[in-house]
Structure 1
Amino acid sequence: MKKSFAFASLFLSLLCIESYAQAIRETIDPIFYKAAQKNIGYPIGAIRGSVYGRLYASFEVDNKGAVKNVNLIYPLVSKKISHLLGFEAEIVGGLSKTPHLNNVSEGKYILPIAFVYKNIYYGDENYPTNRISEDYFSKDFQFLKEIQITARSDQYRMLRPFSGIPPASRQIVEY
């Protein structure tokens, strides 16, 4: 009888701890995700190049709720390619504009961002398949839920050379 009571008590305490942790994450998520989706746009360079992909950004939230130290951690691309496509500048700029977040626990976070590209000329929607390596997983960082930023191939059509037809879609990978 004592063993079953001890087991039941342990189970209930673990359940309460998990639901409390989930409640904390839920207070973080809606505020932050709305601000992040509003502030991060699909870069024009990536739209013109028909490039899509899942990128991971790390950042810190201080005790006042300010987002700082925003970095693109995966995939790692050369500075030249990064400048041409514009993903890193868009992510760093967008997350840096996030207003001070109330009720957000300070710490380090990783935000997956899926840049989804719909190439209407070829009739396909490209959802990124790349994932972060397990080397990046750390106890110091809390992974957040993925946000999705979408674009269509008919955006900025007038900036395409010659025919206006977009190139075939391709996913950004580490190189």
Structure 2
Amino acid sequence: FVSLPQVPPFLVRKVFTQIFSFINVQLFNSLLLRRECCSFSNGEYVKAGLAELEHWCYRATDEYAGSAWDELKHIRQAIGFLVIHQKPKKTLDEISHDLCPVLSIQQLYRISTMYWDDKYGTHSVSPEVISNMRVLMTEDSNNPVSNSFLLDDDSSIPFSVDDISKSMQQIDISDIEPPPLIRENSGFVFLLPPPE
């Protein structure tokens, strides 16, 4: 991982956190909207990609990656559901509390009913679990917050000017060599170090 000395590490962390958040929303919403994405083999494919991102976070260290990996929790848990074996033996409690605690009942229901195994021919969760999910969704239907199963895309990267000023290092501009294009252009002569 190459760092840029002029860019504060906290800002790099914020950017990567936002990028991973965007990846999470896009992949997760695609999974919930397109049945072809809810297959066992697609789960294996995305799981391999997530493993590469996890490895990148490890190599980039906390200084630059920060909590970016945590931003992928929805897609990580959904993919965990897609690739887990013996789904019909899982109880609703195991699925909602152990395997996918951040997913809502609506999201779990959607993934469970759209799941198909194009590789081994295995089945989704039991009809009893699906029925229990329906009951919980009916009870939840009065709660306006729970009516949407899709994630919202928040493209903001919250930080203050104070955060930037605290993290900035003093840079001596005379230590920075201008690129050739600027050195050769007479309009930028003021950027060149004075002749000795």
Q: TM-score, length-normalised on structure 1?
A: 0.25
Higher-Rg member (1/2): 2
Of Structure 1 and Structure 2, the greater strand share is in 1
Of Structure 1 and Structure 2, the greater helix share is in 2
Q: TM-score, length-normalised on structure 2?
A: 0.23
